[in-house]
Amino acid sequence: MKVSGLSHFPLGQPVPAKDHAVCVSLPTVKDLIGYEEKNSGTLAAMKSGYPRFVRNHIIQALVHHFEQDDADRKHESFLFTKVADCEFFLSLYQIEASELDEKDGLFRLRLAQGSKDAKNCRLFQQHTGSSISSRFAEDFLFQKGVIAKRELVASSKVPASEKICKVIAKAHGPKIDAKDVLLANSGANAFYCLFKAATEEARREKKKIWIRLGWLYLDTIKVMQLLLHQQSDEQVIELNNLDDITKLEKIFQSRGDEVAGVVTEFPTNPLLESFDLERVRELCDRNNSLLIVDPTMASPKNAKVSSLADVVVNSLTKYANWEGDVMMGSLVFPRESARGRRLMELTEGYISPPFDRDLKRLAEQIPYYENFIEHTNASNLKVANYLENHPKVKTVHWAYQKKCAQNYKKVAGSNSPGCVVSFELHIPFDGFYDSLRMLKSPSFGTEFTLCCPYVFLAHYSMMQSKEGKNQLSKAGISPFLLRLSVGLEPVDEIIAVLAESLDRSYSKS
């Protein structure tokens, strides 16, 4: 282990302490609110953040480099590696007032500063993962002589992408090999490109219903809304709760010929609920509907869903990038699924491929992927047990929670929970969060333990309205849910840090 998450980290501290770190410290509830409400003092302390949500300072430096030649400062610049993504965005939002130029193979879109168009572009890049990586920006500046040095990454005789694909294929199970794997610059980009291809196929087949099974990750929800709002007769049916499996069956019974596909996570983020995938698979097979499954929360090594899914989506930013400094994603197309394989070539054409130096950096970490997962499996079994038996913990959500443990076990077996457990408290949220001697940050699946205030970071706007709060409540998600990612520190130390804050006395606020 190189970095521990068991400490107090100042606001804005990247972890690890590197330019390309994925995690950044948000140590207090005041900082969370300042970050979400764009407080100037809070933002000034943050040179980086989770890369799709916060523009890394190296990318910002590249933007400034381009803007030196601009006659005005009334525009915001957005950088893309693929012109097709720029053009799709402009078409999607019917934007006319824009400027698009090319800078040595990099595409810059300029929009009016502070405009609705600029806001939409920021969200589009976040949800679709269509921006450049910080290593791309660093290399560009280095090649132009703007900066004198760049991060050192190791090369090997075996191409980095081949090395990564072999390990990821093995994790998915014996019937998957490296040729079944596509890599993307992030998990979000992987899903976006797959779903874009899938919606085009569904339109050719005149299927117009997509089913979102479970409360899924923010950007998955947004991409489905984004790509399906173009056609007035298309719809996403949301089935957020485990009991909704009966509703799913009724939808297939009454409108099965219209169902294009089902999108789910196994287990879901952040409640770690697992639906009965075998039942879902049978329903999809009967109606020639696509089943897309994302096992990122527990890792595909634990949750081997490739025998049940038509396509498997996975964020390699988690578990594979256990040092916490690379964004990447993968798609697996099982050869046994004709439905999935039909989408592979079209999806590959849409993908924003990982930058070469990101591939090399992940290739340095990938040999330890399986060991990392096995270690955190063992630790999380003890942490989840501790939380379930603590009187100040209200609810614990993890892969083996009683209400859906059997569904998860059928696919993953025993003792393979992954590194994540979410929980709610009987004690005041603010006091626990602020006192917790642990990195508090987005992401999971890193060598360092971290705690994520999930709803504050993923759905803060929903917390500000009655309608949003009701929607979260119906999905069983508390605004004060905490998502813990267990790292490589000794498990007794992780539990001791949790105990420090759980066992304190707090006044009711």
Residue 144 lies in a domain: no
Residue 32 lies in a domain: no
Statement to judge: residues 181 and 300 lie in one domain: yes
Residue 166 lies in a domain: yes
- In the listed set 345, 365, 385, which residue is the last one of a domain according to the structure? 365
Residue 194 lies in a domain: yes
d(CA 423, CA 270): 10
Antiparallel, parallel or unpaired: β 259-265 and 290-294: parallel
Q: In Å, what is the CA distance from 3 to each residue of 6, 16, 341, 449?
A: 9, 7, 40, 9
Give residue 508's pLDDT: 57
pTM for the full model?
0.96
Give residue 319's pLDDT: 98
Statement to judge: residues 223 and 302 lie in one domain: yes
In tens digits, the chain (509 residues) has pLDDT values of 899 999 999 999 999 999 999 999 999 999 999 999 989 899 888 877 887 788 899 999 999 998 886 666 688 999 999 999 999 999 999 998 899 999 888 999 999 998 999 999 999 999 999 999 999 999 999 999 999 999 999 888 899 999 999 999 999 999 999 999 999 999 999 999 999 999 999 999 999 999 999 999 889 999 999 998 766 789 999 999 999 999 999 999 999 999 999 999 999 999 999 999 999 999 999 999 999 999 999 999 999 999 999 999 999 999 999 999 999 999 999 999 999 999 999 999 999 999 999 999 999 999 999 999 999 999 999 999 999 999 999 999 999 999 999 999 999 999 999 999 999 999 999 999 999 999 999 999 999 999 999 999 999 989 999 999 999 999 999 999 999 999 999 999 999 999 999 998 776 54
Residue 147 lies in a domain: no
Which structural domain, as residue segments, surrounds residue 108? Answer: 56-130
Residue reference for tokens 């869903």 = 305
Statement to judge: residues 251 and 376 lie in one domain: no
Residue 231 sits at φ, ψ, to 5 deg, of: -110, 125
What lies within 8 Å, CB to CB, of 269 at 6+ separation is 215, 216, 217, 296, 297
Statement to judge: residues 272 and 348 lie in one domain: yes
Per the structure, the count of domains in the chain is 3
DSSP percent split of the chain into helix, strand, coil, nearest 5: 45, 15, 40
Residue 150 lies in a domain: no
- In the listed set 316, 339, 365, which residue is the last one of a domain according to the structure? 365
Q: In 3D, which of 313, 290, 305, 295 has the Cα closest to residue 181?
A: 313
- Alpha carbons within 13 A on the beta-carbon side of 282: 8
